[in-house]
Chains A and B, each alone.
Chain A
Amino acid sequence: MIVQATPGRTEQHETRAAPMASASRLEAIARGDKVASETHEALASEEGVLEIEQFDLWYGQAQALHDISMRIPKGKVTALVGPSGCGKSTLLRSVNRLNDLIDTVRIEGDMVLNGASIYGPGVDVIELRKRMGMVFQKSNPFPMSIYENVVYSLRIDGERNKKTLDEVCERSLRGAALWDEVKGRLQESALGLSGGQQQRLCIARAIAAEPEVLLMDEPCSALDPIATNKIEDLIEQLKGEYTILIVTHNMQQAARSSDYTAFMYLGRLIEYGPTDVIFQNPLLPETQDYVTGRFG
């Protein structure tokens, strides 16, 4: 059975008033029925950096992503929201093919990064990953100096020129709003930084190679509120310069810092549109329920 998305705004108010309808779609998903996702018109006019095309993913027998199609617009911040275990991280890790490291993973469909297939035959995964940056939930600075952490992606490319490295290091640290705090101790171990600083260092590392898309998986969830604020400000600054795909658990954060928001549920994309619309006037009552905190 295919549950059709409810078209039009007027009807939406009625369905929102009736939680039953909302439950029925989620129930249908829970039963395993195919449910079409609702993507807003606004995205059609955006230039996409990354196109996700009918993407499915299985961990062994268990399907974690169902038929996801999304366009990630250039120079914008796109937030992925949804309850725990709905496949946000899985989707994010599929973009830079980190899931390849897990033996049981099998995929169908494709993604396209600036016109080049990601999962196509003969793709050099190493080269592909160099075109993206990723920031993880828990900061993971490498056991080396702050400087070496930032220029890591250049080092593995064999860059030796001290001047280039210095430039990249400073630019990235400035970009990650960390330069002023660490400029005097670049050669000290990165492990001596505070949690928030470590996460900003990871952001600096991710932007050092000028990524075409920056992937962030709940970058603030392990940080205290002050550090979280700093990172949110930082995302605000990075907006426009970088295309950002960010997973977040925090609705306020999504509402504040993203341009587009995608709501996922049980491995499906439910609704995807401009953030203000998703938060104030979504097409689907399920989305409304989730963003207002009625479930999830």
Chain B
Amino acid sequence: MTNPDSTKGASRKRGRRSMTLYAEGEPMVWLTGGALAIALLMIITMLVYVGFMGAANFWPLPIVEVRTASGELLLGEVTRQQLYQPPVANLAQLDEARLKRVQGEMGERDGFVRRRLVRTGNYELTGSRFHWVSDYNIDEEHNPEWAIVAERMEWGNFYGYPLSFLIDGEVVADTPESVWAQVQAIHKEIRARWQSRKRLETHDIGRANREEERARLAMVDAERRFDGGAIGAEQRDQARRDYEETFARVRKDHARITAEIRALNQKNERYVLRMRTGTGQETTLHLADVVRAYPANRLTAAQKTGVFLSRWREFLTDDPREANQEGGVFPAIIGTVTMTLVMTLFVVPFGVLAALYLREYAKAGPLVSAVRIAINNLAGVPSIVFGVFGLGFFCYIFGGYIDEWFYSARLPAPTFRKGGVLWASSTLALLTLPVVIVATEEALAAVPSSMREGSYACGASKWQTIVRIVLPRAMPGIMTGMILAMARGAGEVAPLMLVGAVKLAPDLPLDFMNWSGTLGPILTGPIHLDRSFMHLGFHIYDVGFQSPDSEAARPMVFTTTLLLIGIIVVLNLSAMVLRGKLRKRFMTGAF
């Protein structure tokens, strides 16, 4: 500071250097490129993590049997492991040799020891599914050859050794090999019988019940119209007779179906598998309840792949079991896709029409600007607000009117005055409307005025110009809006909890076995707009955070997340392919 000249020179120099930095732009390249790289890295890390955790979790693990210091026997799969610092109190109770082992391990691992989570299953016998065991606590560990994993419809996995196989109470096999051979020979047949029993229970009985319900509603309606004086006593009596007739027929159907079910059950009950658990208890497994069983330590790589694929197949095509923690997510896939498609059906026409008015007809002015700003802001409203609105406005008000006008015979049981696909789709359509409007407006604005002028010069009216020239030309842009809306809608969860997504929905919203879907007087065929539905996003939330056993739910959460991402990608890709085709058709080739 003593020499004013030097400071001046220095500051000038610094100034010049910063000038050149800007001028060269090199650091800016690094800054922008770095930002992009970090963003990509985060996305890729997430995808890879979800992908790995989700995809790997169906791979069959080996079964271990360990004996702990306290003499406890554990038989099961190691699902994960972690390092921890053992509490001093625990160490104090250890004997000399073991303490030495712990100290050795702690020395190696910077004061940590390893513990593993063993999935021991057999919940109905032991009351727990998982056990942590620390390595230092293990006296003996091995992979028993004939340990078997059985995935069951109820009570989760079973781990144990085959003892004997009985047909009609007679032992036909009593060595692990022969028992296992018997099980493999008969299991498919038993499961097939179980499947047909389930079909009878859900589908056939459901149809019979629906028939009766329809007849009953007709009768209630007739009674009401008789009370109102619209029809005479004769017609009312006819309706009553019709109902009684149907009722009798349905009763007969019921009896027949029940008999069939009983017969199937009896056939299945002939086969009994006796098993011994890791702790030596003997128990009986009903093969009809076993979804899949395999001797984990005897599997070849090909057989493991077979189990892996069969689990994926079950995941994608079957109903959930075990409070959604096991089994498939087929209903949630159908629910998500149906809801998203119906939403698209609502939002695209509305959004396009609104954008057409804004861009083509409305005179530019403060009002139009205000409307535009309002629409953009709508995109920023928290989605749960849309959910509340959907519940209050769509479900209770609209749904209330619909029930009153078209489904009064069913009252007080609500038909549309409750959450369902229709209201979920409507709510999400409202939520994604801004996306479609904004994208469509941009697409319309991008249609060159030379196109419009050419059309007008040919004597086309405004509407003809819009329909024949502007809309086809803007279609790729409109598709972009649609893609964004679909991606947003398919991934949304919060509002759905209020307007129709449920934990478990026995009836699918898209049901090709039952074409009786209606919306008031409109027939909607296999789409049952009034039904509540399962949704992958909600499923993730529910299984991951609302289930009593979070450890058991972990794999399901990852796999479902992977699937949801996959479905959104597929929806987007197909829309993108379509857009590419349109773009090629409408935009290429000038000069």
Q: Interface on A for B, CB 8 Å cutoff? A: 96, 98, 101, 103, 126-127, 129-130, 132-134, 136, 138-140, 142-144, 152-153, 155-157, 189, 191-195, 198, 202, 205-206, 209
Contacts and interface: CB of A to CB of B under 8 A. Distances in A.
A193 B588 CA distance: 10
A228 B188 CA distance: 78
B587 A126 contact: no
B448 interface: yes
Interface string B423-461: 000000000000000000000000010111111111111
Interface stretch (B141-149, B160-168, B468-476, B496-504): B468-476
Given A143-B469, A143-B586, 17 more contacts: A98-B453, A98-B457, A101-B452, A101-B453, A129-B459, A142-B455, A143-B472, A144-B468, A152-B458, A152-B468, A156-B461, A156-B464, A191-B588, A191-B590, A192-B589, A198-B590, A205-B458
A202 B450 CA distance: 12
Contacts of B459: 126-127, 129-130, 153, 156-157, 209
A193 B589 contact: yes
A202 B585 CA distance: 19
B512 interface: no
B361 interface: no
A223 to B, nearest CB: 10
A126 B455 CA distance: 11
Interface of B: 363, 448, 450-461, 464, 468-469, 472-473, 585-591
Contacts of B586: 143, 191
Nearest to B450: A140
Contacts, number: 85
A227 B590 CA distance: 15
B454 A142 contact: yes
Given A129-B457, A153-B458, A144 B472 contact: yes
Top 6 A-B residue pairs of the complex, sorted by shortest distance between their CB atoms: A130-B459, A143-B586, A191-B589, A134-B457, A140-B450, A140-B454
A29 B591 CA distance: 40
A143 B591 contact: no
Contacts of A198: 590
Main SS class of interface, B: helix
A96 B459 CA distance: 9
A194 B591 contact: yes
A126 B456 CA distance: 8
A42 to B, nearest CB: 30
Given A126-B459, A129-B459, A142 B588 contact: no
B587 A136 contact: no
Contacts of B450: 136, 138, 140
Given A140-B448, A191-B590, A101 B456 contact: yes
Contacts of B454: 134, 136, 140, 142, 202, 205
Contacts of B455: 142, 152
Contacts of A206: 457-458
Contact of B458 (A103, A127, A129, A191): A129
Contacts of B469: 142-143
A153 to B, nearest CB: 4
A37 B192 CA distance: 98
Contacts of B591: 194-195
Given A143-B473, A191-B590, A96 B468 contact: no
